[in-house]
Amino acid sequence: MSEPQQREESRGAVRAFRAVLVLLIGTAIAYFVYATTNTQDSQYPFHLGLDLAGGSHLVYEADVSTIDPAEVPELMSVLRDVIERRVNVFGVSEPIVQVEESSFAAAKKHHRLVVELPGVSDVEEAVKEIGKTPLLEFKLIDLATVLTSDEEVTDVADVYVDTGLTGRYLKRAELVFGQANQGGLSNEPIVNVTFTDEGGDLFADITRQHVGERLAIFLDGELVSAPRINEAITGGSAIISGGFTAEEARELVRNLNFGALPVPITLQSTQTIGAALGNEILGKGVAAGAVGLTAVFLFMLVWYRAPGVIAGLALFAYTAIMLALFKVIPVTLTAAGLAGFILSLGMAVDANVLVFERAKEEFRSGKSSREAARVGFARAWSAIRDGNVTSLLSAIILFWFGTSIVKGFALVFGLGVLVSMLTALSVTRTFLMVLPEARESDNSFISRLYGSGVHK
């Protein structure tokens, strides 16, 4: 055997090894998806969004009119964490709590909190549970407003002015029992609240500047207590007393420790999706995906013949990788996300089409099938790269500025673009290079398998 033949045989063995390796990896990924889907207690289940699993969708709007705009992002993040802790407490499976901001082009920005509670069909109960999270405020009596008696004030809210001290500065709350006082009450249940360092400094300043005045404590807009400030209070703690029973004080401590809201929120809209409707949407989405996958595979097979079979393998590898990523990342699948996945099935073969068309031209010009494939990849790469980069930029923009629904679509679509490039450059190229070599001039059965469409 001549040296060129030995080199070609060696290269052929390497190509075959790569093809077998890619096939084994693809099979392992597909088995992982299958094995983790057909077990009830899988460590890697598919995470379904509200519109597929059913549940409640709540939208709250935050009132940030009195907040410094520079502090709004941080407060909204705190608000999200507080609500998330709250809904986790009452046992909702995989709740989603997201912060949304109205378009940057709007004259007035609206800050919203979107709460999705899969499996919760009782909206009223969900709203009630979230509403238990208190808004804690400390206010001073406005001496200029108070005239001669409390009866002359028509609205109690007009009597008080904000101090800036709210639940955002709360560190913890605990139940304690007071000693006997001049009123004769012994072991009265009271709530001791401890502020953060910043809150403690603010509380000390307020009490130092307003000795002799009353500092009212409001919980969810309701007056709880209005003790007199006898002296400056340092140390970062305060007492809430209001004639509580032990159970009432304990409930207040529990709610405060679950998180006092840093800003007021108002329920804007609610939506309930039944489990049956979610299953119907999921079933139709899966059916659409299967039909789309089959249609694309058949088209590639009929039009590109042998390379079309390779494109089909790459498409199935693409599907397995995407489904595995959905499980591992994990990605919460919504109806919009399913639409993005189905759309990406068609786009996943774009790179193959570009390569095959380039390779077909080279094959007809007299090059061997393997050389035509090499040249086809080299010449199609710039178009593949530019097309995928622009699609990826679109996905990033949609994810950055979109609402939660749009983000689901953008995330799946963006992943699809990246994975399609991977499968085109690895799976398709690897298997094309391992196919038997032929030339169009051979006019053999194998050479006809490299034709396309209505041409031989």
323 and 401 in a single domain? The answer is yes
Domain boundaries, position 195: 136-260
CB 216 within 8 A of CB 141: yes
Number of domains in the chain: 3
| Tens-digit pLDDT profile for residues 78-114 | 788 778 877 775 565 567 888 888 755 556 788 899 8
* Coil, helix or strand at residue 455: coil
The DSSP secondary structure of 65-82, one letter per residue, reads: TTS-GGGHHHHHHHHHHH
The answer to whether residue 156 is domain-embedded is yes
The answer to whether residue 456 is domain-embedded is no
340 and 414 in a single domain? The answer is yes
253 and 304 in a single domain? The answer is no
The DSSP secondary structure of 132-180, one letter per residue, reads: TS--EEEEEE-TTT--S-GGG-S-GGGGEEEEEEEGGGEEEEEEEEPPP
Per-residue pLDDT, 181: 46
Query: Where does a domain end: 63, 98, 132?
Result: 132
Per-residue pLDDT, 183: 45
Compute the radius of gyration of the chain from its Cα atoms: 33
The answer to whether residue 269 is domain-embedded is no
Per-residue pLDDT, 452: 62
How many residues comprise the chain? 456
Query: Where does a domain end: 132, 153, 186?
Result: 132
237 and 152 in a single domain? The answer is yes
The answer to whether residue 28 is domain-embedded is yes
Query: Where does a domain end: 77, 111, 132?
Result: 132
Give the residues of the chain that fall short of pLDDT 50. 147-149, 152-154, 180-184, 454-456
* Rounded alpha-carbon distances, angstroms, from residue 405 to 256, 334, 451: 32, 8, 43
Instruction: Say which residues have a Cβ less than 8 Å from residue 37's Cβ, sequence separation at least 6.
Output: 45, 46
Per-residue pLDDT, 157: 57
Token pair of 133, please? 């999270």
pTM, two decimals, is 0.67
Per-residue pLDDT, 146: 57
Q: How many CA atoms lie within 13 A of 32 on its CB side?
A: 19
| Tens-digit pLDDT profile for residues 340-371 | 888 888 777 888 888 888 888 888 888 888 88
Q: Tell me the CATH number at 115.
A: 3.30.70.3220
Per-residue pLDDT, 64: 87
The answer to whether residue 443 is domain-embedded is yes
* Residue corresponding to tokens 């990788």: 321
Q: Tell me the CATH number at 386.
A: 1.20.1640.10
The answer to whether residue 266 is domain-embedded is no
